[in-house]
Amino acid sequence: MTDYTQLFRLDGRNAVVIGAGSGIGRESAFALAAHGASVVCADVNLGAAEETASAIGAEAYQIDVLDPDAVERLADRDTDVVVLTAAMNVRKRLLEYTRAEFDRVVALNLGATFDVVRAFGRRMVARGSGSIIGFSSIRGTTVEPGQSVYAATKAGLVQLFRTAAVEFGRHGVRVNAIAPGVVETPLTAQIKADPAWYQAYADKGALGRWAQPSEMAGAVVYLASDAASFVTGAVLAVDGGWTAVDGRFEPPEGKKA
């Protein structure tokens, strides 16, 4: 009989969180450690990684995920779970975008993801187990002016992960994506600085507010754990109902159709 009290426990498992220095990555590291995992807190900012690691008694690791060789070196350690949160956005309309900006966003959001999936996936496939967790976005399915390249990379990540799930699945490796809505992180600081913009985003979702990074951590633990043992190739929306809401017009209450 399954011991459901242990369903979300990660004791004895090794996790690597890339982007653990802040935001969703930091909270993911906290949550994985709280459920028993041994965590490596990896980030381009070593000081930030050390701050996260010191809070949970974990290892800090400096990495530039734009360096494929560095990704390979990190993947060489025994890893059961890898979480990738590193991403960037340049908010510009298409006609204002430069090719250099396009290349920069694609290189981090999609290119680095490709390298992480291949490096960690190769070793997990050889071992016969593992969980790879990445972050897409509501922008992978819904767009707005100024989000073209970011949205394209987040949609591309989903298809990359689905393909990896199909190719790795017979080897016991699960690959899933989480699609957050609006979350208060350094990536969204520009929006938070504009009260009207911030409130408009809050009003769009069914819950009428922004998420905190900690509210993404439960999804990470779930996908890392045996609770999700039959979940792969999935995109888990943690968006406060953003993608469920039409948003064009809210009919007055009490009016009959």
pLDDT at 252: 74
pTM: 0.93
Of 1-10, 192-201, 203-212, 246-255, the one with minimum mean pLDDT is 246-255
Q: What percent of the chain has pLDDT over 70?
A: 96
Q: What is the pLDDT of residues 12-56, one digit of tens each?
A: 999 999 999 999 999 999 999 999 999 999 999 999 999 999 999
- Catalytic residue status for 97: no
pLDDT at 105: 97
Angstrom distance (rounded) from CA 47 to CA 52: 9
Please state the rounded mean pLDDT for residues 231-253: 86
pLDDT at 251 exceeding the cut of 90:
no
pLDDT at 176 exceeding the cut of 80:
yes
Angle at 175 between CA 233 and CA 125, to 5 degrees: 125
Give the residues across from 176 on adjacent strands.
133
Angstrom distance (rounded) from CA 235 to CA 136: 8
Angstrom distance (rounded) from CA 221 to CA 16: 13
| Domain boundaries 9-240, corresponding CATH code | 3.40.50.720
For 213-245, letters b (16+ CB in 10 Å) and e give bebbbebbbbbbbbebeeebbbbbbbbbebeee
pLDDT at 256 exceeding the cut of 70:
no
Angstrom distance (rounded) from CA 249 to CA 55: 46
Whole-Å CA distances, 204 to 59, 148, 197, 219, 242: 39, 20, 11, 22, 6
Candidates 4, 61, 150, 222; catalytic one: 150
Q: Which helix (H) or strand (E) holds 238?
A: strand 235-238
Strand-strand pairing, 59-62 and 235-238: unpaired
